[in-house]
Structure 1
Amino acid sequence: MLSTLAVFAVGFVMRPLGALFFGWFSDRIGRQRGMVLSMGITAFGSLIIAVSPTYASAGAVASALLLLARLMQGFGIGGEIGASHTRTSPRPRRPHDAACGRRACTWRSRPACSARPSRPRCSRGG
């Protein structure tokens, strides 16, 4: 029972490594290519789980394939989460809003922004 949970947990251990790799990869190559690659790795890991033999027919090889597939799934999901959140996050309405974060900078909600309602700016370089 404990070994079954360990195989399940291995996927969660690989998520931060996937996030680190795909963050670097997406910054260099492009977010869309990084997301497509991470989705492909995750899908390939799922395919390995689907077509892997049972323990009765392949023995320890089946367990190794399952472990490898869970490693691939966790690695891919780690990269996919960051890319999908970046892709679906709201974009600023005006160019100077981006300095205050993802959402529009309002002078009431953000103390770092100026109190001019005509053009809210962030004091952090906006």
Structure 2
Amino acid sequence: MQAEYDVYEDKCPTRMVLDRLADKWSVLILDRLDNEAVRFNQLRRDIKGVSQKVLSQTLKKLERDGLISRTVFATVPVTVEYALTPLGKTLTDCVSELAHWAERNMDEVLAAQKSYDKTLD
């Protein structure tokens, strides 16, 4: 029997998942892993502004949630790749849409912010 979840309830565990998915670094990582497995350092180069520490922490959280997998290759130095799991792949359309919505609508958002800020003066 599957438990019922209600995202509007403050104690519902779905809140933790929503919190993770609302994080900009999670969105960018999941979107970047959409088409291929990627090494840690490549992710760090591709996602400008993320620190090594934050990237590592976010990857661990996404792995714990079952959204990405981590594969270690016995090379010198050790090579680590990250990829979407089947569960993570169920998010690719909505994550991509969210990430790229921001790109498509940024001018309107900036204009709205400017207009709002004028009302505060």
TM-score > 0.5 by shorter chain: no
Higher helix share: 1
Larger Rg: 1 or 2?
Answer: 1
| TM-score w.r.t. length of structure 2 | 0.29
What TM-score, normalized by structure 1, do the two folds share?
A: 0.28
